[in-house]
Amino acid sequence: MFDFEKLDVYQKAKSFNKIVYHHIQTDKKIDSVTKNQLRRASFSVMLNIAEGSSRFSKADRRNFFVIARGSVFECVAIFDFMKEEKLLNEILHTDLYSKSEELSKMLFAMIKNLTPA
């Protein structure tokens, strides 16, 4: 088992990615540009957590976790657009928003712990 697979934040990012992936695969109303961007952003969260965990320096690890957190923010912006365009129902939006917020907080704590004093 790789170290990143043991991280709670990675497991939550993977679960988040699965929900997003399933939704964009099954919803025919979502255009291909939005699907592609959301897929890339949600996938980026878990991939940057994995890659960051492989780095030896704190600064390198922190950088990848900052990128992962930025991808969470990108997902939230897409969810906001999708909700306004009626491409995302209120229940799913609330669930994804909540999961995004949790990921953001977890990543922020990891970033803060790797930031020099």
What is the predicted pLDDT for the residue at 5? 97
Residue ranges of the chain with per-residue pLDDT less than 50:
none
**Could you tell me the residue range of the domain that residue 49 belongs to?**
16-24+31-114
Asked, for residue 100, whether it belongs to a domain, the answer is: yes
Asked, for residue 37, whether it belongs to a domain, the answer is: yes
Q: Is the distance from CB of 16 to CB of 99 less than 8 angstroms?
A: yes
Asked, for residue 9, whether it belongs to a domain, the answer is: no
- The CATH number of the domain holding residue 73 is 1.20.1440.60
Asked, for residue 2, whether it belongs to a domain, the answer is: no
Cβ atoms within 10 Å of 59's Cβ, excluding its own: 11
What is the tally of structural domains in the chain?
1
CA distance 40 to 85: 20
What is the predicted pLDDT for the residue at 117? 75
Report the predicted TM-score, pTM, of the whole model to 2 decimal places: 0.95
CA distance 41 to 75: 6
What is the predicted pLDDT for the residue at 116? 87
Asked, for residue 106, whether it belongs to a domain, the answer is: yes
